[in-house]
Structure 1
Amino acid sequence: MANKSLNKNSVKYLKGIAHGLKPYVTVADKGITENIIKELETTLDYHELVKIKIRADREQRVQLIETIIKTTQATEIQRIGQTLTIYRANPKNPVYELPK
């Protein structure tokens, strides 16, 4: 589930923060388009922790999640139903200070 680059405490911390977030991006019937990727990149750079709503059946959702993570180089924090939470640190302007 979570990438090896984040320890358990960091993932737990980010899950706690993500609980109160609303989805910033929605992937619908058109799938992952160039505009969705641009929006994800911008949102990850600004917020670091992003919730994504994926409107698709289970098999398609798994493929979409793999594509999102591979394309954005983000870490999967959590997936519940149609909601995916990803994290990518911004080295120039960090938003969160992760626990050690």
Structure 2
Amino acid sequence: MLTGKQKRYLRSLAHHLEPIFQVGKGGTNEQLVRHINEAIEKRELMKISVLNNCIEDKHDIAAELAESTGSELVQVIGSTIILYKESKDHKTIELP
């Protein structure tokens, strides 16, 4: 579980990142979760964009992605989801 200070730090790091994945009208699926899991293991911090044509609520998608990838939900702002997961092999982010 991330503290408020850690979430603020991660939000500042994520500010300059571009979204890597997009969730569209199909919502989340097994393939998307697998790709996100692989990418977050290498990057530790990532942004995911939720498109306007997505039927599901962005907060529900964020919670589902965080649970299925084993990551922490940092923030949902606008149509962007920020996830963090500490990497086992490629640890690059030191949390305060």
* TM above 0.5: yes
What does residue 4 of structure 2 align with? 8
Percent identity (aligned): 26
| Shift of residue 9, structure 1, vs aligned partner | 2.2
What does residue 47 of structure 1 align with? 43
Counterpart of 2:70 (choices 59, 70, 73) is 73
Q: Is the 8 A contact 2:44 2:85 kept in 1?
A: yes
Q: Is the 8 A contact 2:9 2:95 kept in 1?
A: yes
Counterpart-to-counterpart distance in 1, 2:36 and 2:46: 8
TM-score normalised by the chain length of structure 1: 0.85
Aligned length: 94
Alignment RMSD: 1.4
Structure 1: 4+ residue segments shifted above 6 A:
none
TM-score normalised by the chain length of structure 2: 0.88
Q: Show structure 2 runs of 5+ residues with no match.
A: none
Question: Which is worse superposed, 29-38 or 61-70?
Answer: 61-70
Question: Which is worse superposed, 5-14 or 21-30?
Answer: 5-14
